Amino acid sequence: MSLNKLTIAAARDGLKAGEFTSVELTESCLSAIEGADALNAYCAKTPEIALEQAKAADARLKAGDAPALCGIPLGIKDLFCTKGVASQAASRILEGFKPEYESTVTQNLWDSGAVMLGKLSMDEFAMGSSNETACYGPVVNPWKVDDRKLTPGGSSGGSAAAVAADLCLGATGTDTGGSIRQPAAFTGIVGIKPTYGRVSRWGVVAFASSLDQAGPMTKSVRDAAIMLGTMASNDVKDSTCVDFPVPDFEAALTGDIRGKKIGIPKEYRMDGMPAEIEKLWNDGAAMLRDAGAEIVDISLPHTKYALPAYYVIAPAEASSNLARYDGVRYGHRATLSAGEGIVDMYEKTRAEGFGPEVQRRVMIGTYVLSAGFYDAYYNRARRVRALIKRDFDLAFEAGIDAILTPATPSSAFGLGEMKDADPVEMYLNDVFTVTVNLAGLPGISVPVRLDAKGLPMGLQLIGRPWGEGDLLNQAMVLEQAAGFTAKPEKWW
């Protein structure tokens, strides 16, 4: 077996046992990356940094000083600032930007001895569900049907594709409305969005500050537990980061869920749901029941308002966050003609620097925040958000331990298929995931089986706030019951 195909847990154990070195493990990943340009997953490769970090990790391993991720090669989503390495958020407007600082999450990873293979592509400013809005061009899903190129999902599509194709052992992602869980489901990997405030947002380029949360994308639930344990930390530089102790998530993986109550929300059984997705959901519930859990029908009555509320709140926050990109201090600056002034420079820079989807969302956000519409749209959406959170609170207060839903309304679709469609069609990909962000809850996508076309499908488990340990344990039970081991056949 090629070393790049290992899980984080297996590689960690192999490194500690001296079966191979971090340099050998890293070289295996770098070799795989070099042969995978057709996937377009990496937007910046950092082999020199990777080998230098791998050598340092080997020294730590030899000295017996080996934290959880020591020597493990990872890919980093382009939304995370990495010192001295291009961090563009897949946008032309941040062209040439190399931060002088490290995000808290990536610093935690490097402190734990992890190795950076490079930066992974994404939808521009994390705005998208298909990874087609990146200035680097679309990422291609390693899973394929006939000759059709498929989306890996978004916005963390580069991360998902890289993990699924064994171009890294794990990757960082961010999730604002499903951007970890949806691409994880489309590529047959595991992705967890932690409780809002569990992981620092400092040094992560902001999309919607009250919704964004970083998390790991991995080959197994155990790997997600290991990686989340390092990514999570309290951080005084992020006022939304909560000072809660970070438990040993891997130790929580007992495999015992007897007596746990798993809720099945009736509102998620939507009109037109594909029969395969419904069967997947029913089968997932049966797997958890067979493991000793109690399956309970529940109601989350305000679910139907989640998508419209999200697509008011997220663009509103985006329009505020993206106002800082003006071409003055860093990034792309438009060339002016004679007689043009500062206002012309702002307008031309933003018109050239922001892609169409980002411009669309900024315009929507600016509109809903404007004086005449603030109460009618933004404040109303905030009130709906409070009601959605209350639905979940009541379910958990009634004794529900986790909630099982589909992760996505379908398997991966073709690149370009929705290009000329109504944007709302694309936004509907987030229908099962946005509620989790609006309520600030942890959610995880677990691959369960292949559909009739041979593409992976995933289920989502939603947990109690700060209950990532229990959620990961429930997810591992589902993972083991499903026995999903399929990998994409190499065509790239």
- Report phi then psi at 457, rounded to 5: -130, 145
For this structure, is 83 an active site residue?
no
For this structure, is 445 an active site residue?
no
Of 22, 77, 260, 261, the active-site residue reads 77
Instruction: Report residue 360 as tokens.
Output: 């669309």
- Where are any strands of DSSP class E within 416-466? 443-450, 456-463
Of 22, 112, 129, 155, the active-site residue reads 155
Of 28, 103, 156, 179, the active-site residue reads 179
Q: Which residues sit opposite 456 in a β-bridge?
A: 450
d(CA 12, CA 27) in angstroms, rounded, equals 16
**148 CB burial (10 A radius; 0-12, 13-18, 19+):** middle
Instruction: Let me know: does 106 contact 233? Beta carbons within 8 Å.
Output: no
Between the CA of residue 246 and those of 235, 441, 466, 467, what are the distances in Å? Answer: 12, 16, 9, 11
Pairing of strands 170-175, 73-77: parallel
3-state secondary structure of 395: helix
Between the CA of residue 224 and those of 85, 290, 420, what are the distances in Å? Answer: 25, 24, 36
Q: Which residues sit opposite 190 in a β-bridge?
A: 218
For this structure, is 149 an active site residue?
no
Instruction: Let me know: does 240 contact 197? Beta carbons within 8 Å.
Output: yes
Between the CA of residue 336 and those of 95, 161, 322, what are the distances in Å? Answer: 18, 39, 22
Nearest to 157 by CA among 193, 115, 120, 118: 120
Show which residues are catalytic. Answer: 77, 155, 179
